[in-house]
Amino acid sequence: MNNIVAIVGRPNVGKSTLFNRLIKRREAIVDSVSGVTRDRNYGKSEWNGQEFSVIDTGGYIKGSDDVFESEIRKQVELAIDEADVIIFVVDVEEGITPMDDTVAKLLRKVKKPVLLAVNKVDNAMREKDAIEFYNLGLGDYYTFASISGSGTGDLMDALVESFPERQEPVDEVELPRFAVVGRPNAGKSSFINALIGQDRFMVTDIAGTTRDSIDTKFDRFGFEFNLVDTAGIRRKAKVKEDLEFYSVMRSVRAIEYADVCILIIDATRGFEGQDQSIFWLAEKNRKGVVILVNKWDLVEKETMSTRDYEEKIRKELMPFTDVPILFVSALTKQRLLKALEATVQVFENKKQRIPTSKFNDYMLKVIEGYPPPALKGKYVKIKYCMQLPTPTPQFVFFANLPQYVKEPYKRFLENKIREKWDFSGVPIDVYIREK
């Protein structure tokens, strides 16, 4: 499981520039995933062979200056709860501000590694100015310039060295892990209670009554797996938070650690921005996904049929539309068994391996009937293809001119694979390589 790094600090100190630099570093190495990245504030990075997830808390603060202080305090508190390592960014040009002091006060109590990163240090004069930041009481600091990138290497070395040793859980039998995710108050705890047949979770209509993600071993109706509940968020204060940030951040760890994500949405509210953020988080992590539309018993059926509702959701999921969508009610236990069957099926789909000879027989015929379009008078020939031995379905097609095969044709290949084999609910990667 990846370590999680949170970048905190007051507005306009360069948190997002640092975040973009960390994320791009990885994208330069790895094939960029098809489809636009939908979530600006979460990404994956890699340094010295270690992968980790990065969360930029900066992009979530909305509102005027007087709102900032309480917002920043909440975000730092949440980062402290959720992250393994915290990078606290300050600005050498402005020196220590009262808000920096407030953040430092919170961070001094933390039992986790905190790296103090002084931004905009791009000459010797500013190196001297940075000494002032010892006064924050957080020990040594790292100077860097997020715009030019100078100094980020040392910061990254220190970051990777400060990761805690991970104890991987030892299971006698490695059971599949299904994470129940979704916005607060969509009915995640009620769904799990209905499955387990007991009120294991406190259910109230206050968003965020589940304090932590909790694992439950499930062994009923012939199914055996671990259920991970991430219901909602920690309620830190009696304020109306920007729930999007909190539910996404709470879901990060559970999603990364799951095989399949059961995304529960509230039928009475529709498939909102927050649901989409969580969906794309699962997709970006190449996890299986099942969407359950909960509280379907409360929807006026005359106004909205299941087909219309499903079409609306699929429109938002483009281009990854091959996902099971089921209409359930945790309260009346309607279709819960069907939901479990669909989840187990997605897990099986994700593990599916297609023999190379079968794959070639079928796909080469498809390609012969509809070859990649010629570019600049050059014809692309694909002579061989195979599934890679990776944890998630990835397929490679070997061609004489891979650079001429564009995104639409890759999508065509993916659709043909999905037509022939059942990969419902599972993201697929298609690569074109030189022969």
Per-residue pLDDT at 64: 47
Per-residue pLDDT at 414: 94
pLDDT category, 235, cuts 50, 70, 90? very low
Where are the strands (E) in 230-369, listed by range? 260-266, 288-294, 325-327
Q: What is the DSSP letter of 262?
A: E
pLDDT category, 113, cuts 50, 70, 90? very high
Per-residue pLDDT at 148: 83
Sequence letter at residue 269? R
Torsion, Cα of 134, 138, 140, 143 (10° steps)? -80
Per-residue pLDDT at 123: 84
Range 332-336 average pLDDT: 85
Task: Judge whether 258 and 228 are in contact, CB under 8 Å.
Answer: yes
- Asked whether residue 176 carries a pLDDT value surpassing 80, the answer given is yes
Per-residue pLDDT at 209: 36
pTM of structure: 0.67
pLDDT tens, residue by residue, 351-380: 999 999 999 999 999 999 999 988 888 888
Per-residue pLDDT at 308: 87
The phi, psi pair for 386, rounded to 5°, reads -160, 160
Q: What is the DSSP letter of 430?
A: E
Range 78-106 average pLDDT: 86
Per-residue pLDDT at 353: 94
Per-residue pLDDT at 35: 34
- Asked whether residue 207 carries a pLDDT value surpassing 60, the answer given is no
Per-residue pLDDT at 272: 82
Of 21-25, 60-64, 136-140, 155-159, the one with minimum mean pLDDT is: 60-64
Per-residue pLDDT at 31: 33
Range 138-160 average pLDDT: 88
The share of the chain scoring above pLDDT 70, in percent, equals: 79
pLDDT tens, residue by residue, 393-414: 999 999 998 888 889 999 999 9
Angle, helices 98-108 vs 65-82, to 10°: value is 20
3-state helix, strand, coil in the chain (%, to 5): 40, 20, 40
Per-residue pLDDT at 69: 63
Burial of 220 (0-12, 13-18, 19+ CB in 10 A): exposed
- Asked whether residue 320 carries a pLDDT value surpassing 90, the answer given is no
Q: Tokens at residue 190, please?
A: 């009620």
Task: Judge whether 266 and 291 are in contact, CB under 8 Å.
Answer: no
Mean pLDDT for the chain overall: 80
The share of the chain scoring above pLDDT 90, in percent, equals: 29
Per-residue pLDDT at 302: 66
Integer distance in angstroms from the first to the last C-alpha of the chain?
A: 34
- Asked whether residue 237 carries a pLDDT value surpassing 80, the answer given is no
pLDDT tens, residue by residue, 257-297: 789 999 999 988 888 877 888 888 888 889 999 999 998 88
pLDDT category, 250, cuts 50, 70, 90? low
pLDDT tens, residue by residue, 23-76: 774 443 333 333 333 344 677 788 888 888 888 776 445 444 555 566 667 767
Query: How far apart, in whole angstroms, are the C-alpha atoms of residue 168 and residue 161?
Result: 18
Highest mean pLDDT among 182-186, 313-317, 385-389: 385-389
Per-residue pLDDT at 233: 35
Per-residue pLDDT at 234: 36
Contact residues for 172 (Cβ-Cβ < 8 A; gap 6+): none
Per-residue pLDDT at 277: 81
